[in-house]
């Protein structure tokens, strides 16, 4: 898998994580050229039981685990300790998303990792972080959405708080984990010292709430759910079409007159009540009714043509099948065909970071459980075939 290309070629990552945030963090590093060794229990991580399934294998784990060597290890067994420490000695970065305290219980607190590999970087991704009164509590994505305040801001104004349509907290925590790993590598290049990177899902999601926390802290504003309407300018909302929905964003002073001309309502642009952003927001329902009256009798393609000619930002509210097959997604290579030796061709999301000098690449399909045990324990750690067979018979790997 290591082909000497990518910005992180020559860096080895030990992936002790599971589910989404940690595996995604490691996959990002792997996409950019790092050699990633993923460790999971001999029966496979719990996420392998999650639907949907392709040929009896979880698509959930496929999406977050490409570009990794897959090895199994029962870290609760005494015999596993030497193997795990040998892997640490050969790694630049260790990524884990256990509950705080687990690495210490395993006998691998950060000071011990430093003894094994001076300059090692530990990235810990947890729900509430390594400190604070909630540090030891378990957390899943939905809990982060609830406790961060995001759920209180999501959904219709007169409805219940709503989850986002994806595991947004896990993704943002994974992105921050990867960024923290890269910053720690840069620091090590400059100083020779590693460090412990502490990323909390709650922190990462809270930091993504925009102006809402500061507006409350400084101005006493208590934000409410706003549906799909933009918070700051208008008209900017989802509107019904004859064959679906479109999102139109024309709330700025330069865009609003263009929209009025495009929909044949120049009278709105000439009305003093709508001449400024505050005025439009004060009368937003009336404006949205006027836009909806124009969109609802027209198909999305016609709306797209008219708004495109007028230079108005818009987007059809597309279903997933449309997006996957869209020409833009294809042009950006955001769905990739990845050959798997046992499962055939997998269609997986592409690499969103495009780099012209050291681009990322998919060099290895997501591994099956223990697929690379011989490589990891034999070629990488130098264990004999007999020793690997013995460890397997004992259930250690």
Going across the sheet that includes 236-241, the strands are 236-241, 244-249, 314-316
Band (pLDDT 50/70/90 cuts) for residue 5 is confident
Phi and psi angles of residue 47, each rounded to the nearest 5 degrees, phi first = -65, -20
Q: Which CATH class is domain 236-319?
A: alpha beta
12-208+328-393 and 236-319: identical CATH topology: no
In the chain, % of residues over pLDDT 70? 99
Element (H, E) at 196: strand 196-200
Band (pLDDT 50/70/90 cuts) for residue 313 is very high
Mean pLDDT of all residues in 370-380: 97
Each residue's pLDDT tens digit, 151-169: 999 999 999 999 999 999 9
Each residue's pLDDT tens digit, 204-241: 999 999 999 999 999 999 999 999 999 999 999 999 99
Band (pLDDT 50/70/90 cuts) for residue 319 is very high
- Say whether pLDDT at 306 is over 60: yes
Please tell me the distance from the alpha carbon of residue 340 to that of residue 363, in angstroms, as a whole number.
11
pLDDT of residue 365: 98
- Say whether pLDDT at 131 is over 70: yes
Whether 8 contacts 29, CB under 8 Å: yes
Q: Is the peptide bond before 235 cis (omega within 30 degrees of 0)?
A: yes
Band (pLDDT 50/70/90 cuts) for residue 256 is very high
- Say whether pLDDT at 4 is over 90: no
CA dihedral 182, 17, 66, 78 (to 10 degrees): 120
Architecture of the domain spanning 12-208+328-393: 3-Layer(aba) Sandwich (3.40)
Each residue's pLDDT tens digit, 29-79: 999 999 999 999 999 999 999 999 999 999 999 999 999 999 999 999 999
- Of the residues 170, 198, 203, 372, only one is catalytic, namely 170
Q: Could you identify the residue written with the tokens 């097959």?
A: 325
Q: Could you identify the residue written with the tokens 């479109």?
A: 246
Whether 309 contacts 259, CB under 8 Å: no
Identify whether 170 is a catalytic site residue: yes
Give 3-state DSSP helix, strand, coil % of the chain, rounded to 5.
40, 15, 45
Whether 200 contacts 128, CB under 8 Å: yes
- Say whether pLDDT at 173 is over 80: yes
Query: Over the chain, what is the mean pLDDT?
Result: 97
Q: Is 130 exposed, middle or buried (0-12, 13-18, 19+ CB in 10 A)?
A: middle
pLDDT of residue 39: 98
Band (pLDDT 50/70/90 cuts) for residue 3 is low
- CA 227 to the chain's CA centroid: 23
Mean pLDDT of all residues in 114-140: 97
pLDDT of residue 247: 98
The tokens describing 286, both together, are 């009336």
Cα 66 to Cα 26, 30, 37, 161, 385: the distances in Å are: 9, 8, 11, 34, 26
Boundaries of every domain in the chain: 12-208+328-393, 236-319
């Amino acid at each position: 898998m290591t082909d000497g290309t990518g910005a992180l070629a020559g860096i080895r990552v030990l992936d002790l994580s599971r589910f989404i945030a940690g595996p995604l963090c490691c996959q990002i590093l792997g996409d950019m050229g790092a050699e990633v060794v993923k460790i999971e229990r001999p029966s496979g991580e719990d996420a392998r039981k999650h639907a949907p399934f392709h040929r009896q294998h979880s698509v959930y784990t496929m999406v977050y685990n490409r570009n990794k060597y897959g090895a199994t290890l029962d870290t609760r067994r005494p015999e596993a300790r030497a193997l795990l420490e040998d892997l640490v000695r050969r790694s630049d970065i260790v990524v884990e998303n256990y509950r705080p305290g687990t690495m210490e219980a395993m006998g691998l607190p950060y000071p011990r990792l430093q003894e094994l590999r001076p300059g090692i970087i530990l990235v810990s991704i947890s729900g509430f972080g390594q400190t604070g009164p909630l540090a030891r509590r378990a957390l899943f994505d939905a809990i982060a959405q609830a406790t961060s305040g995001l759920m209180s801001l999501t959904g219709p104004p007169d409805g219940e708080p709503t989850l986002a349509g994806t595991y947004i907290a896990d993704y943002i925590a994974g992105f921050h984990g990867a960024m923290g790993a890269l910053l720690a590598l840069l620091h090590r290049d400059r100083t020779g010292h590693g460090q412990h990177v502490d990323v909390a899902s709650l922190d990462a999601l809270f930091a993504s709430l925009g102006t809402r926390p500061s507006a409350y802290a400084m101005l006493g504003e208590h934000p409410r759910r706003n549906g799909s309407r933009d918070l700051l300018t208008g008209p900017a909302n989802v509107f019904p079409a004859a064959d679906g929905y479109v999102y139109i964003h024309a709330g700025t002073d330069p865009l609003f007159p263009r929209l009025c001309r495009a929909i044949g309502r120049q009278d709105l642009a000439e009305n003093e009540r709508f001449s400024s952003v505050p005025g439009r927001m004060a009368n937003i329902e009336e404006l949205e009714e006027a836009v909806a009256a124009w969109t609802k009798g027209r198909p999305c393609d016609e709306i797209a043509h008219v708004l495109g000619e007028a230079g108005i930002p818009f987007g059809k509210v597309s279903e997933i099948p449309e997006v996957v097959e869209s020409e833009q997604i294809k042009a950006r290579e955001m769905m990739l065909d990845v050959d798997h030796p046992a499962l055939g061709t997998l269609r997986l999301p592409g690499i969103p970071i495009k780099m012209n000098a050291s681009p990322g690449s998919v060099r290895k399909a997501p591994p099956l459980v223990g697929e690379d045990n011989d490589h990891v324990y034999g070629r990488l750690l130098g264990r004999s075939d007999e020793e690997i067979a013995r460890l397997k018979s004992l259930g250690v790997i």
